[in-house]
């Protein structure tokens, strides 16, 4: 499985860390059906094909973690009018 995932990573020109081995395993099910229907012959080419991106073989990029504002009056709340009125009462 690692060798197949590595071959897919080489085909899409991404590091192996960006390839989901679980989704490669699950993608083999879809490749098997395509192979039986005569639509595919190479599992690496099938899993790396742009039209098969919905198989989720390539992991999505994560968003960077948000920085927390630990100040007593965060900027997001200062502009909120209902927060200002709430603080007066």
User: Per residue in 47-59, pLDDT tens?
Assistant: 999 999 999 999 9
Among 57, 55, 59, CA closest to 5: 57
- Residue 46: the pLDDT is 96
Are 9 and 16 in contact, with CB atoms under 8 Å apart?
Answer: yes
User: Per residue in 1-59, pLDDT tens?
Assistant: 999 999 999 999 999 999 999 999 999 999 999 999 999 999 999 999 999 999 999 99
HEC profile of 15-33: CHHHECHHHHHHHHHHHHH
């Amino acid at each position: 499985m690692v060798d197949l995932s590595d071959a897919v990573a080489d085909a899409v020109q991404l590091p192996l860390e960006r390839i989901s081995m679980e989704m490669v395993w699950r993608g083999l099910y879809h490749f098997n059906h395509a192979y039986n229907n005569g639509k595919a012959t190479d599992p690496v080419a099938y899993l790396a094909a742009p039209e098969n991106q919905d198989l989720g073989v390539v992991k999505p990029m994560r968003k960077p973690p948000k920085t927390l504002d630990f100040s007593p009056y965060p900027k997001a709340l200062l502009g909120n009018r209902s927060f200002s009125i709430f603080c007066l009462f």
